[in-house]
Chain A
Amino acid sequence: MSRPDAIPASAVRSEANTVKPFNRRHFPLDGWEMTLVVLLVLVLVGFSWAAPGFYDGMPDLLSMAENFLPFGFVALGLSLVIFTGGIDLSVSTTASLTAVVVAQLWHGFGMNIWVAAGIGLLLGALLGAINVLVIIRLKIEPLIATLATSFIYGSIATAVAGNAPPSGFPDAFNALGGGALGILPYQLLLFVPLCLGFWLLVARSAYGRKLVMVGYNREVALYSGIRVERILVVAYVLSGVMAAVAGLVLAAYYSAARPDMGDPLLLATLTMVVLGGVSIFGGEGTMLGVILAVFILGFLRQGMMIAGFSDMVTTMVTGAILITSIAVKNLFNKRGTGLGNQLWALLRRPEATGSEPE
């Protein structure tokens, strides 16, 4: 692959492969994260310019976040699971089940709503623990295991909800979904520290290093003495808890709990995590990318709705963005082996057609 008279692309490649004492990034952000920042700016500026009513002052822009932050909570937890190379399809029904159970505890048992919410978080942890137990103890692939538990949780949610799901929570609880402190929505006030926490967990803690290691190569992680199962348990339990948080926030936002409330969460959050640069095979990606992707897709959806596009068109565009972004990322990868890199090299040096584009 390597040629002595190096073309620019391979020059970058060989430099990246060389270990030098000062071979650090000059810029704090990774290439993909830079792309995401540019995308976010494009979305915000583009809609402010093209869709009248999108930018209506800072408070309005911030309160718009209330519509998509529930997805963000799920995306934070789901990323951990995808870092390990697994997947959690049960996030949507976990959110629904939590919301419904909390609502019934409050309505049927006359429990204080905040105590009920606390129990809801524990329930989320329990559901995540069941997922990971099925995966570890029964040795079933995460995709199948969480597919199955997702069916089961969904049924239980419908059964618990009954014919008339409770609604009309106390105002203090509803504020969690729709209230604001000054111009800052409570959802955002909850989301930002959680983002910080998850970023620290993945990028700055021993757990984070092990998490990515497990996803990168499970066998090697095992042989390096990492307690793989413990890493997995934490990831899935946190995913369950974050899904529960999303369920609570959604219940507060609508001031009602419905057993199908979490259904739209799954595909959208999976899109966010993947767009954020986390490899679906695990072991690659950053929390910062995921957080950026949450805001990109969130503002995009809101902007398109304000511009008068139907929900379905918005979903289609989301799907197209998912595919395009990963395609672009694959076309120009860091190692310079992507089709785009190759074509670029061919354009630069038409005679160098030795390598097979694959």
Chain B
Amino acid sequence: MGTKDDIERVLRRRGREVALVGVTLALVVVLGILQPRFVHLENLRFMLLGSVVLSLVALGQTFVIAMRGIDLSVAPLLGLSAMVCGLLAQSQGLPLWIAFALSLGIGVVLGAFNGLLVSALSIPPIVVTLGTYSIYSGFIFIYSQGTQVFSIPAAYGHLGNGYLVPWLPIPIPVLVLLVVLALCSFLLGYTRFGRALLAVGNNDAAAYNAGIPVGGIRIAVYALSGMLASFAGLMFLCYTGSATVTAGTGDHIELQSIAVALVGGTPINGGRGNLIGTVLGSLFLSVVLTALVFLRVPAIWYSAGEGLMILATVQAGLRRHRARDAEAVA
């Protein structure tokens, strides 16, 4: 009986994560039976690595959405950070730790600018980040002057593709993601800041009356989102070894990150945030897209697959919630 109750409790509290893991595993198993190469270690590693950049961006997006905001400017921030660090590394051999600090700095400053506009001037976040999306994309063009990054120092490549220790077959970016996920989870679940941002997402007027510095929290959350997007840009640079002016904006990573956060179980109306769900959602997307490649589906249908995935998972999530609400009423 005890274990059954435990399972029920886990399902109720962690239903989204369990469902995502289950569907992802099922997909991997089915594809593995159809195409044995799909479960080859190299491909599994590829799928895992492919989800890291999006996961990092989507973690920041999760914070913003949990606070009932939205951040479209993550895509140009990713591109800007990749471009600035990449060009400096390519031409002047910028040390990795400075690139690290530089990318975080860019993200914090430009992200905080978003937050400042949202909180001090009370402009709706979608309008602010739509505007800064254009402005930050312009920065990429101005900074790059039409050039692009095609070679990066070995240290960067090691960070993007290497292994920390030879006997542990987990690539460094995945370890980085796990560390960031742990830090973010701590921040959201176990700090005053996390509680405050959820309160703001739930009801900002009530949060203000409860003495929460709503404006400050907003600025901090957008700065955090900008920082993570910018850091994702550095990881993107290290992983792919290149950066072009359309990095981030070309793949519509801002829309993907929103989709993944929603798929992961963070409601668009804020008040709750599911960071693990976000990372699992991003992994799920990576597996689905790779599966489409293995099934020889033409590349043009990938974004349709993404769209259907968003509808299906969001719909499934709503159904669960409604069922739970009905249960609560009864």
Instruction: List the interface of chain A (C-beta within 8 A of B).
Output: 87, 89, 134, 138-141, 143-145, 147-152, 154-156, 158-159, 267, 270-271, 274, 279-281, 310, 312-313, 315-316, 318-320, 322-323, 326-327, 330-331, 339, 358
Contact = CB atoms under 8 A, between A and B. Distances in A.
Given A319-B135, A320-B135, A156 B117 contact: no
B302 interface: yes
B314 A326 contact: no
A150 B303 CA distance: 9
A155 B302 contact: yes
Interface of B: 70, 117, 120-124, 126-128, 130-135, 137-139, 141-142, 208, 255, 258-259, 262, 268, 298, 300-308, 310-311, 314-315, 318
Nearest to B315: A138
A138 B311 contact: yes
A330 B127 CA distance: 13
B240 to A, nearest CB: 23
A312 to B, nearest CB: 4
A267 B137 CA distance: 13
Given A274-B127, A316-B138, A323-B123, A155 B314 contact: no
A140 to B, nearest CB: 6
Contacts of B258: 143-144, 147
Judged by DSSP, the binding face of B is helix
A216 to B, nearest CB: 15
A320 B130 CA distance: 10
A256 to B, nearest CB: 19
A140 B311 contact: yes
Given A155-B300, A159-B298, A312 B137 contact: yes
A140 B315 contact: yes
Contact of A330 (B122, B300, B304, B307): B122
Contact of B121 (A139, A150, A158, A339): A339
Nearest to A318: B134
Contacts of B121: 326-327, 330-331, 339
Contact of B307 (A87, A148, A323, A358): A148
A233 B302 CA distance: 29
B256 to A, nearest CB: 10
A144 B268 contact: yes
Contacts of B137: 312, 315-316
B311 A145 contact: yes
Contacts of A139: 318
B310 A148 contact: yes
Contact of A143 (B208, B268, B305, B315): B268
Nearest to A280: B124
27 contacts: A139-B318, A140-B315, A143-B70, A143-B258, A144-B259, A145-B311, A147-B258, A147-B307, A148-B314, A150-B307, A151-B303, A151-B304, A151-B307, A152-B308, A155-B307, A312-B141, A316-B135, A319-B130, A319-B131, A323-B123, A323-B127, A326-B123, A326-B124, A326-B127, A327-B123, A330-B121, A339-B120
Nearest to A90: B307
A90 to B, nearest CB: 10
Given A152-B303, A312-B138, A326-B127, 12 more contacts: A149-B307, A155-B301, A155-B305, A274-B127, A279-B124, A310-B141, A316-B134, A319-B138, A323-B123, A326-B123, A330-B121, A339-B121
